[in-house]
């Protein structure tokens, strides 16, 4: 960023954008049978003309509440320059997440945390654009000192201090250039969830899995948790279709009690899932630990994170050996800053990170974080993959590029979440031309 252009933020706009995905059961699971993939979509205008785009993912009704929360935070960002924000990003992160009055709504969880993520994602986008780099590259080119200066270590120093984090980043510098080249030529491994949403018929499951196999997909996630006999039938069908050599994961979206999760997943063990995702409440750290312990002899790990709103919950999941796969989320956590904290903790605990991306814009965003993780933190691809869902990418100015079931690193400056204005107009709620009936309940 040139010193002469501080990029003063002069305006924040936020819009409620909803896509009627529930009409065709895209995105459906045992807890969310009718999700309308939606976003609180933020645009920051600066005095230089440069703009930053950010969003947070939501599910339709209620997006207006997130929009209100973003509006309530706007005064903390409008009037500041990008330069002053990023020169002490930790301070700005804290200002947003610990504002003396607004923090009562969280702290660092729920609607207010989703709103913080939308605003901060737009700030990171603005920063990457100001540097003329895709966000992952902005992070990869940063000094380790600068990276840790973006992280709020409050509440996690009992497991990770700033000094340790710095040391880890310095150590991971070895081989960084080769890993960057490897990513640029091969891409980051992905898995698909789009073949097996809960509301899809058996025929759809078969057809979608067959198509995905033809496209080169080898890792598949299936929604479970509503009815055990249905799950057995659907999972067997998918296992038969994809073969024993491919990887299967199952996702219950918090449907069960702890004991129920253990019994249910033990019955599904015959289809050899790599992990059970969100078996129970995302707040139940010890419940996840009990499930992990019970399922370990079956070779099934526990994955969670898409509803874990902050570094503290991840810290406890890691401390309690409650997860074998950490699922960061670019919008549930407070943007890049909070995701960095979780990536660093996961590395310390040697638990692989497999990001969540089931939603609108999440694939676009999280690909940047996982590329950074591989190049600069974990230096490891074993047991690692990033989720992919094949929905709504056509609404983005720089949609994800998947080749051979891998995310190819974005080349355009920014954080890849600028939506096409025509799409925003069309799907804005209320008032857009194509707002689905399901959203008017």
Q: With left for phi above 0 and alpha for psi between -120 and 50, is residue 253 left, alpha or beta?
A: left
Beta bridge partners of 51: 45
CB of residue 293 vs ligand LWAPGFLV: minimum separation in angstroms?
Answer: 23
> Angle at Cα 105 formed by Cα 101 and Cα 107, nearest 5°?
90
Instruction: Give the integer Cα–Cα distance in Å for 133 and 160.
Output: 29
Least Å distance, CB 157 to ligand LWAPGFLV, is: 31
The CB density around residue 82, as the number of other CB atoms within 10 Å, is 23
| Alpha-helical runs (H) found in 106-257 | 110-131, 135-140, 144-148, 162-171, 176-186, 202-215, 228-242
| Distance between CA atoms of residues 166 and 142, nearest Å | 12
**Residue 193's binding partner out of Mg ion, ligand LWAPGFLV, none, with CB under 5 to 8 Å set by partner kind:** ligand LWAPGFLV
User: Are 122 and 92 in contact, with CB atoms under 8 Å apart?
Assistant: no
The answer to whether 241 contacts ligand LWAPGFLV (rule: CB under 6 A) is no
List 356, 368, 406, 427, residue binding ligand LWAPGFLV (CB under 6 A): 356
306 binds ligand LWAPGFLV (CB under 6 A): yes
Strands 301-304 vs 247-251: parallel, antiparallel or unpaired: unpaired
Establish if 307 lies at the interface with ligand LWAPGFLV (CB under 6 A).
no
329 binds ligand LWAPGFLV (CB under 6 A): no
**Contact range with ligand LWAPGFLV by CB under 6 A, out of 27-35, 130-138, 371-379, 409-417:** 27-35
Which candidate in 7, 221, 223, 427 is catalytic?
223
Q: Which stretch binds ligand LWAPGFLV (CB under 6 A): 26-34, 103-111, 375-383, 426-434?
A: 26-34
Positions of E strands within 186-331: 188-192, 219-223, 247-251, 275-277, 301-304, 325-326
Binding segment (CB under 6 A) for ligand LWAPGFLV, from list 28-36, 133-141, 332-340, 344-352: 28-36
294, 262 contact by CB (below 8 A)? yes
CA distance from start to end of the chain:
47
Contact 190, 221 (CB under 8 A): no
To ligand LWAPGFLV, the closest distance from the beta carbon of 126 in angstroms equals 28
Would residue 333 be called left, alpha or beta, if left means φ above 0 and alpha means ψ between -120 and 50 degrees? beta
DSSP-derived secondary structure letter, 349: T
Q: Is 356 a catalytic residue?
A: yes
Least distance to Mg ion from the beta carbon of 383, Å?
A: 17
Catalytic residue among 109, 133, 356, 395: 356
Question: Is-catalytic flag, 350?
Answer: no
Site map (CB under 6 A) of ligand LWAPGFLV, residues 154-193, x = contact: ---------------------------------------x
Q: Does residue number 358 form part of the binding site for ligand LWAPGFLV (CB under 6 A)? A: yes
Measured from the Cβ of residue 49, the count of other Cβ atoms closer than 10 Å reads 8
312 in Cβ contact with 342 (< 8 Å): no
Nearest residue (CB) to Mg ion, 108 versus 251? 251
Minimal distance in Å, beta carbon 28 to ligand LWAPGFLV? Answer: 7
**Residue (96 or 209) nearer to ligand LWAPGFLV, CB:** 209
309's contact among Mg ion, ligand LWAPGFLV, none, with CB below 5 to 8 A by partner kind, is none
Which token pair is 383? 């047991």
Q: How many CB atoms lie within 10 A of CB 375?
A: 26
Binding-site size for ligand LWAPGFLV (CB under 6 A) equals 11
Using CB under 6 A, pick the residue from 27, 106, 189, 301 that binds ligand LWAPGFLV: 27
- Smallest separation (angstroms) from Mg ion to the CB of 278: 5
Tell the smallest beta-carbon distance from residue 162 to ligand LWAPGFLV (Å): 32
Determine the Cα–Cα distance for residues 309 and 342; give it in Å rounded to an integer: 11
Letters for 387-426 (x = contact with ligand LWAPGFLV by CB under 6 A, - = none) are x---------------------------------------
> Is the CB of residue 192 less than 8 Å from the CB of residue 223?
no
Site for ligand LWAPGFLV in 31-60 (CB under 6 A): 32, 35
Q: Which residues bind ligand LWAPGFLV (CB under 6 A)?
A: 27, 29, 32, 35, 193, 251, 253, 306, 356, 358, 387
Catalytic residues: 223, 356
């Amino acid at each position: 960023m040139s010193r002469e252009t501080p990029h003063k933020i002069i305006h924040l706009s936020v819009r409620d954008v909803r896509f009627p995905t529930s009409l065709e059961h895209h995105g459906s699971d045992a807890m969310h049978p009718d999700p309308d993939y939606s976003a609180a979509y933020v645009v920051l205008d600066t005095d230089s003309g440069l703009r930053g785009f950010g969003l947070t993912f939501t599910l339709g009704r209620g997006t207006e509440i997130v929009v209100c929360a973003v509006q309530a935070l706007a005064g903390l960002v409008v009037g500041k320059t990008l330069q002053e924000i990023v020169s002490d990003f930790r301070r700005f992160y804290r200002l947003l997440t610990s504002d003396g009055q607004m923090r009562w709504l969280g702290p660092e969880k729920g609607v207010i945390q989703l709103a913080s993520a939308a605003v901060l994602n737009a700030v990171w986008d603005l920063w990457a654009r100001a540097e003329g780099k895709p966000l992952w590259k902005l992070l990869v080119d940063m000094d380790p000192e600068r990276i840790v200066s973006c992280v709020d270590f409050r509440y996690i120093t009992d497991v990770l201090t700033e000094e340790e984090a710095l040391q880890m980043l310095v150590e991971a510098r070895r081989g960084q250039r080769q890993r960057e080249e490897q990513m640029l030529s091969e891409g980051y491994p992905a898995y698909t969830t789009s073949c097996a949403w809960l509301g899809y018929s058996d025929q759809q499951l078969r057809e979608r899995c067959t198509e995905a196999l033809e496209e080169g997909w080898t890792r598949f996630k299936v929604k479970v948790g509503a009815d055990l006999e249905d799950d057995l039938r659907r999972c067997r069908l998918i296992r038969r279709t994809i073969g024993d050599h491919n990887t299967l994961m199952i996702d219950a979206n918090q449907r069960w009690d702890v004991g129920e999760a253990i019994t249910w997943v033990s019955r599904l063990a015959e289809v050899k899932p790599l992990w059970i995702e969100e078996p129970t409440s995302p707040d139940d750290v010890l419940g996840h630990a009990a499930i992990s312990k019970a399922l370990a002899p079956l070779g099934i790990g526990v994955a969670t994170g898409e509803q874990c709103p902050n570094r503290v919950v991840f810290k406890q999941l890691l401390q309690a050996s409650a997860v074998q796969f950490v699922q960061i989320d670019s919008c549930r956590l407070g943007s890049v800053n909070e995701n960095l904290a979780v990536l660093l903790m996961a590395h310390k605990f040697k638990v692989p990170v497999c990001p969540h991306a089931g939603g609108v814009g999440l694939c676009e965003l999280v690909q940047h974080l996982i590329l950074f993780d591989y190049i600069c933190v974990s230096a490891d691809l074993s047991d690692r993959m990033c989720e992919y869902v094949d929905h709504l990418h056509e609404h983005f100015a720089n949609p994800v590029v998947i080749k051979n079931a891998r995310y190819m690193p974005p080349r355009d400056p920014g954080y890849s979440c600028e939506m096409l204005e025509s799409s925003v107009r069309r799907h804005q709620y209320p008032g857009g031309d194509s707002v689905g009936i399901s959203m008017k309940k």
